[in-house]
């Protein structure tokens, strides 16, 4: 017990030390404003844009193709069954909607695939129309 506590202390000291070094230079793949929000609301403790930590990489969240609103809702009301193999995230209700939306927009922008706008709008799938029986004689 004592041993692991000592280890935790050492680990904490290392974290503090490395934070100190990096204080001026937020991780390259996190824009400064997002880094600020991630730190303020502690998301940074569990999430990185491109790396699994305690929680999934945001790039992987982006691949799920949620709408920005859905992500905001998931920040307030996580659905752990979306992420088997991860511990449940606690609801982050302290994040103001405005900031949650900023994070959501950014998270969605991290989908590795090249930005293809608007092609994802649901195609009207009423496929009754074109079943013209081709009588090629
Ligand atoms: C203590 C660790 C922790 C913190 C802090 C944390 N998360 Fe998470 N997050 C997780 C874990 C673990 C999961 C996957 C399990 C789950 O969804 O409950 C997750 C999942 C998510 C998802 C995916 C939801 C889904 O259903 O697909 C989003 C989006 C997310 N987090 C955003 C955030 C944001 C934004 C913050 C900061 C406001 C934050 N998280 C803070 C651990 C954390």
Assigned domain for 97 exists: yes
71 lines ligand 1 (CB under 6 A): yes
pLDDT in tens, 44-64: 999 999 999 999 999 999 999
CATH number for position 65: 1.10.760.10
Q: What is the pLDDT of residue 134?
A: 54
pTM, 2 dp: 0.73
43 is in an annotated binding site: yes
Assigned domain for 27 exists: no
* Index of the ligand 1 atom closest to the CA of residue 100: 35
Assigned domain for 6 exists: no
Expressed as residue numbers, the domain containing 75 is: 33-113
The number of domains in the chain is: 1
pLDDT in tens, 57-114: 999 999 999 999 999 999 999 999 999 999 999 999 999 999 999 999 999 999 866 5
Q: What is the pLDDT of residue 111?
A: 87
78 lines ligand 1 (CB under 6 A): yes
Kindly state the average pLDDT of the residues 109-137: 54
Q: Among 38, 42, 47, 87, which residue has the most ligand 1 atoms within 8 Å of its CB, making it the best to mutate?
A: 47
The Cβ of residue 21 has, within 10 Å, a number of other Cβ atoms equal to 8
124 conformational bin, left if phi > 0, alpha if psi -120 to 50, beta if neither? beta
Assigned domain for 133 exists: no
Q: How many whole angstroms separate alpha carbon 80 and alpha carbon 58?
A: 15
Q: How many whole angstroms separate alpha carbon 13 and alpha carbon 92?
A: 27
Q: How many whole angstroms separate alpha carbon 46 and alpha carbon 38?
A: 10
Q: How many whole angstroms separate alpha carbon 106 and alpha carbon 42?
A: 16
Res. 123: pLDDT tops 90:
no
User: In 3D, which of 76, 124, 125, 119 has the Cα closest to residue 97?
Assistant: 76
Q: Which two tokens stand for residue 33?
A: 């404003």
Assigned domain for 69 exists: yes
61 lines ligand 1 (CB under 6 A): yes
């Amino acid at each position: 017990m004592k041993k692991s506590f000592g280890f935790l202390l050492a680990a904490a000291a290392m974290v503090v030390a490395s934070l100190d070094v990096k204080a001026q230079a937020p991780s390259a793949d996190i824009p400064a404003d997002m880094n600020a929000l991630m730190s303020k609301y502690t998301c940074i403790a569990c999430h990185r844009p491109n790396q699994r930590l305690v929680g999934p990489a945001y790039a992987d969240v982006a691949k799920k193709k949620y709408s920005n609103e859905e992500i905001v809702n998931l920040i307030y009301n996580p659905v752990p069954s979306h992420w088997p193999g991860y511990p449940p995230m606690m609801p982050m209700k302290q994040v103001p909607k405005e900031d949650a939306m900023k994070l959501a927009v950014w998270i969605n922008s991290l989908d590795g695939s090249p930005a293809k706008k608007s092609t994802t709008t649901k195609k009207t799938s009423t496929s009754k129309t074109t079943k013209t029986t081709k009588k090629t004689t």
